[in-house]
Structure 1
Amino acid sequence: MSGFKKFLFRGNLVELAVAVVVGAAFSGLVTSFVKSFIGPLIALIGGEPDFDRLSFTLGGTVFPYGLFVTALISFLIVATVIYFMVVLPMSKLLERLVKAEEATEKPCPHCLSDIPIKASRCRFCTSELTIGAH
C-alpha cells in the first residue's frame, strides 16, 4: 500500500493530473469561443451561424456533420495556441541551451570512439591526433 501512496503523490503524477484538468478547462473555453465568436464570424461569410445544426440524411439516418465541424475548428485553434505558446518557445529555449553547451568530446578519426577535444592521442586505439582536428 505504501508503494501505491508513493506512486499517487509523486510529483509527475500530480503535475499530470493538474495538466489534464487545466487542459479540459481550456478545451471548454476554446469550444465556447468557437461557438460564440468564430461560428458567427464564419456565418457572416457562409450564412450558417450554428454549425451544430448542420446535418444531412442518407437512407433515413441523420449525419450531424456540424458537430464535427465545430470540433475541428476547436481542435485547430487549440493546436495553434499550443504550438505558438508552448512548442515554439520551448524549441527556441532548448536550442539556446544546446548552443550554450559546449562540446567536450569529439570522435576519433581512426576508431570513431568519443575522446576529449583536447586529447592528442586516442585512449582506445592510441592513434596520434592533431590538436583541433574534429
Structure 2
Amino acid sequence: MSNMWKEFKAFAMGGNMFDLALGFIIGIAFAALVESLANDILLQLVAAIFGTPDFTALSFTLNDAEIRYGSFLTVLIQFLLLALVLFGIVKLLKRFGMGNFRAQGQQECPYCKEFVAIDAIKCKFCTADIEPGQLEEEDVELLKKREGWQNPNDGIA
C-alpha cells in the first residue's frame, strides 16, 4: 500500500499533471473572457442596433405548437459573435508570432504515397515538390519560386 501511495504521489505531483491543471485553469479563464467580450460587448452592440440583445420573445404558433425561432436566433448570434472573437484573437496572436497555429492533418504524397503534413510543399520521403493541401501565408514566397505555380487565391477579392 505504501508503494502505491508513492507512485500516486509521484504521478499527481509530476510536472505533466501540473501543466495540464494550469492549462485547464487558463483555458477556463480565457473562455470566460472571450464569452464576456462576445456577450457583454458585441451582443450589446446588436442590442443597440436592433433594440434588444435577446430575441427569445419572437415566436409563432403553428397547429397549436409554439415555434420559438427567436431563441434560436439569439443562440445563433451568440455563436457567431463568439466565433468572430476567437477568430480575431487567433489572427492577432498569429500576427505577433505567438502560439502554434500550424495546420493539423496529413495528406498523401502523389509520388511515393507516404503521408506528409497537410501544409507540406516538399515530400520528406521522396523530396518531390507537392501542392499543399492547406496553404500557409509564409509558404507563398517559396511556392512562387516554382516554375508555373499559380496561387489558388490570386484574383479572389
Give the TM-score normalised by structure 2.
0.44
Which structure has the larger Rg? 1
C-alpha distance in 1 between matches for 2:76 and 2:55 = 11
Structure 2: 5+ residue stretches without partners: 1-7, 103-121, 128-157
Confirm or deny: 8 A CA contact 1:55 1:63 kept in the other structure. yes
**Does the alignment pair 1:77 with 2:85?**
no
Q: 1:21 to 1:4 in 2, by over 3 A?
A: same
User: 1:96-115 to 2 correspondence within 5 Å?
Assistant: 112=126
Q: Normalising by the residue count of structure 1, what TM-score does the alignment of the two structures yield?
A: 0.50
Moved over 6 A (4+): none
Corresponding letter in the other structure for 1:21:
A
CA-CA distance at 1:54 after TM superposition: 0.8
Are residues 1:26 and 2:34 paired?
yes
Identity of aligned residues (%): 24
Secondary structure, aligned partner of 1:54: coil
Shift of 1:36: 2.9
| Aligned residues between the structures | 96
Q: Distance in 1 between matches of 2:36 and 2:94?
A: 25
The answer to which structure has the higher helix fraction is 1
59, 65, 82: which one pairs with 1:61?
65
The answer (yes or no) to whether the contact 1:40–1:50 under 8 Å persists in 2 is no
